[in-house]
Chains A and B, each alone.
Chain A
Amino acid sequence: TQLLEQSPQFLSIQEGENLTVYCNSSSVFSSLQWYRQEPGEGPVLLVTVVTGGEVKKLKRLTFQFGDARKDSSLHITAAQPGDTGLYLCAGPYGNNRLAFGKGNQVVVIP
């Protein structure tokens, strides 16, 4: 059973376009983290959202935590080829374990 469902699984867009990917759960999380993973590397932490309704910005990336703390979205404005990667959402459960979604694979075409 997957605690966190990410959609779409794969997204390909042209440079300069905007995109939004989603992370959903039926469970409430105390926080959610977004990571980006490149091939052959480990996940790199982008942001942690903690408060329901919270919005955090990281340059052209906007992260939102749902009011009920069950879901989150990542919006990228004017996507660049350097934004290509696997975006993972993760939430803590139990003894500080992290549950991960399967990821949103984003490809930005120059």
Chain B
Amino acid sequence: NAGVMQNPRHLVRRRGQEARLRCSPMKGHSHVYWYRQLPEEGLKFMVYLQKENIIDESGMPKERFSAEFPKEGPSILRIQQVVRGDSAAYFCASSPPGNQPQHFGDGTRLSIL
């Protein structure tokens, strides 16, 4: 998974706190995608972003979740007022423009106490 960098790898939060997950895409990739993986379930699409634009956020919960991909810096997935059900592995993927294969980072494992 060299190239797509996610941090932190592990994040522990208490209920009600905020979680910020960061993703730096592979060099030359301008498209970023966030997925969530729950135990015993497959990866589920959350949001698709290009620089400074949200293209598709149909998989993201309407409340507490937001994502951005600024002109400079990494993409951020932000979860406010976390609840136990937010515990999951969150993966970021990136791709070049066009319908190109997505390459994944190693994920952030979020645990809510």
Query: Contact check: which of B41, B59, B104, B106 meets A97 at CB < 8 Å?
Result: B59
Separation of A95 and B48 alpha carbons in the complex (Å): 8
Which A residues between 18 and 63 are near B, CB-CB below 8 angstroms? 30-31, 33, 35, 40-45, 48
Residues of B within 8 A of A97 (CB): 33, 45, 48, 56, 58-59
Separation of A16 and B108 alpha carbons in the complex (Å): 35
> A85 to chain B: closest CB distance in Å?
13
> B98 to chain A: closest CB distance in Å?
9
Chain B interface size, as a band, is: 20 to 34
Separation of A14 and B109 alpha carbons in the complex (Å): 32
Task: Please list 26 pairs of residues, one from A and one from B, whose beta carbons are closer than 8 Å in the complex, sorted by A's number.
Answer: A2-B42, A33-B101, A35-B104, A40-B106, A41-B107, A42-B4, A42-B6, A42-B105, A42-B106, A45-B101, A45-B104, A88-B43, A92-B99, A95-B48, A95-B55, A95-B56, A96-B33, A96-B55, A96-B99, A97-B48, A97-B56, A97-B59, A98-B33, A98-B45, A98-B102, A102-B40
